[in-house]
Amino acid sequence: MIPLIQNVIEKYHWITTKDFFSMIGIAEMTPGSLSINSATFVGYNVFGLLGSLVSTLGVILPSFLFAILLSRLMKNKRFNKFIDHILYFIKPIVIAMIISAAYCIGKETYGNGQIISIENCFTAIISILAMYLIFKKNLNPITIILVSGFLGIFLFYVL
C-alpha cells in the first residue's frame, strides 16, 4: 500500500517527501487502516476539513460497496472456490509489495551515503531478530513490536 500511496503523491505533488514519511509514521500510530489515515492526512493538507472528508469517503466507500457485493456472492460455493484460487496467487504479490515498500523507504532514508552507522546496525539487528522471533519462533507480533519499540527508545535516546 505504501508504494502505491507514494507513487500517487509524487505524481500529483500533493505533499513533500518529508511530509509523506511523517504521514506514514502518524498513520501507523493512529487507530485505523493506513489507507484511511493517509487519505485523511493528505486530504486535510490539500483542501482542509472538506478535503479530509472527501478523501476519506473516497477510500472507504469503494471497499464498503465491494464487501457488500462479495458477501452476497460468497453464498455460492463455486464462487467461494474461485476466491480461494485467487487468494493463493495474490499472496506472493502482497509479499513483493511489502518488500518494495521496505526498499523504497530504506533507499529514501539511507540514500545520503551514511548507510554504515552504529544506529543503522542496531536497527538492522533489531529488525532481523524481530522477524526471526515472529516467523521462526511464532512469538506474538504485538509483543515483538512493543519490545522492539522499547529497544529502539533505549538504544537511541538512553545510550
Q: How confident is the model at residue 6 (pLDDT cuts 50, 70, 90)?
A: confident
Q: Are residues 65 and 10 in the same domain?
A: yes
pLDDT at residue 76 tops 80 = no
Mean pLDDT of the region 34-62: 92
Cβ atoms within 10 Å, residue 108: 14
Q: Are residues 36 and 75 in the same domain?
A: yes
pLDDT at residue 125 tops 70 = yes
**Tally of domains within the chain:** 2
Domain span including residue 103: 2-114
Q: Are residues 92 and 142 in the same domain?
A: no
Q: Are residues 36 and 107 in the same domain?
A: yes
Q: How is residue 115 annotated by DSSP?
A: -
End-to-end Cα, the chain, rounded Å: 34
Please, are residues 47 and 29 in contact by the beta-carbon 8 Å criterion? no
Q: How confident is the model at residue 31 (pLDDT cuts 50, 70, 90)?
A: confident
Q: Are residues 47 and 17 in the same domain?
A: yes
Q: Are residues 121 and 104 in the same domain?
A: no
Q: Are residues 29 and 86 in the same domain?
A: yes
Cβ atoms within 10 Å, residue 73: 11
- Where helices occur in 13-140 by DSSP H, the ranges are 17-29, 34-73, 77-110, 118-135
Q: Are residues 80 and 123 in the same domain?
A: no
pLDDT at residue 126 tops 90 = no
Please, are residues 105 and 4 in contact by the beta-carbon 8 Å criterion? no
Please, are residues 64 and 35 in contact by the beta-carbon 8 Å criterion? no
Q: Are residues 44 and 122 in the same domain?
A: no
Cβ atoms within 10 Å, residue 43: 22
Orientation of helix 2-12 relative to helix 77-110, angle to 10°: 60
Q: Are residues 15 and 70 in the same domain?
A: yes
Q: Are residues 28 and 66 in the same domain?
A: yes
pLDDT tens readout for residues 93-124: 988 888 887 787 777 766 665 556 677 777 77
pLDDT tens readout for residues 134-152: 899 999 988 998 898 888 8
pLDDT at residue 1 tops 80 = no
